Amino acid sequence: MIEELRQMGHEALTAWAQRGLEKSVVAAQAESDWRPGGKKTVLVHDPIKHRISPGSHLLE
């Protein structure tokens, strides 16, 4: 009996979370600047422009 109630609660919470996620996706896609996966953050700059030659830190 307890296991059945636990399972029902789990299913109810899972369904509630899924509906919330679907609503969030629909709202995000409705925005004019929406991009799949979100905006990408650039983690590195131009590696050629900002190249550090070996040993250059010793010249400072």
Burial group, residue 42, by CB count within 10 angstroms (0-12, 13-18, 19+): exposed
pLDDT digits (tens, 9 = 90+) for 6-59: 999 999 999 999 999 999 888 888 877 766 665 666 666 665 665 666 655 555
Tokens for 20, please give them: 């919330």
Q: Report yes or no on whether pTM surpasses 0.85.
A: no
Domains in the chain, number: 1
Integer CA distances (angstroms), 36 to 22, 29, 39, 44, in order: 14, 8, 8, 21
The most distant pair of C-alpha atoms in the chain lies apart, rounded to whole Å, by 76
**CB distance 28 to 34 below 8 Å:** yes
Residue 48's domain comprises 2-59
